Amino acid sequence: MHPLPGRNDLMEFKKQTSRRQSFLMPSLEEPCDPRQPLKNLADQLPWVTFEEAFAEYYSDEGRPAKSTRLMVSFLLIKQLENLSDEVAVARWIQNPYYQYFFSI
């Protein structure tokens, strides 16, 4: 008869570092394939540089503005894939890679 495993014999689980918001709401990065070109482009673009370059055009007065990343992302996607505004929005709604790119 084998002895029962003690506390020290229990398997230790790796602590996962994740940006998951909750069990039912994973981050946008989790389901995305890291080899997908749009994900790679989103990870490589200098978003902070865009924010700094466009900051002077944003105001603290009036209606809150959309994020710089959202605006730049839509312009890039429209140009790269030759899309209309309507098609870009429709794809953004349906495609998690677009959502990751826009960082929504």
Q: Write down the domain spans for the chain.
A: 33-58+65-104
* Euclidean distance between CA atoms 68 and 55, whole angstroms: 8
Task: Spell out the per-residue pLDDT of the chain, length 104, in tens.
Answer: 555 555 444 444 333 344 545 556 556 666 677 788 888 999 999 999 999 999 998 888 888 888 899 999 999 999 999 999 999 999 999 988 888 888 86
Ramachandran region, residue 73 (left: φ > 0; alpha: ψ -120 to 50; beta: rest): alpha
Residue 46, C-beta contacts closer than 8 angstroms, at least 6 positions apart: none
* Euclidean distance between CA atoms 50 and 57, whole angstroms: 12
In terms of Cα–Cα distance, which of 35, 34, 38, 27 is closest to 83?
A: 38
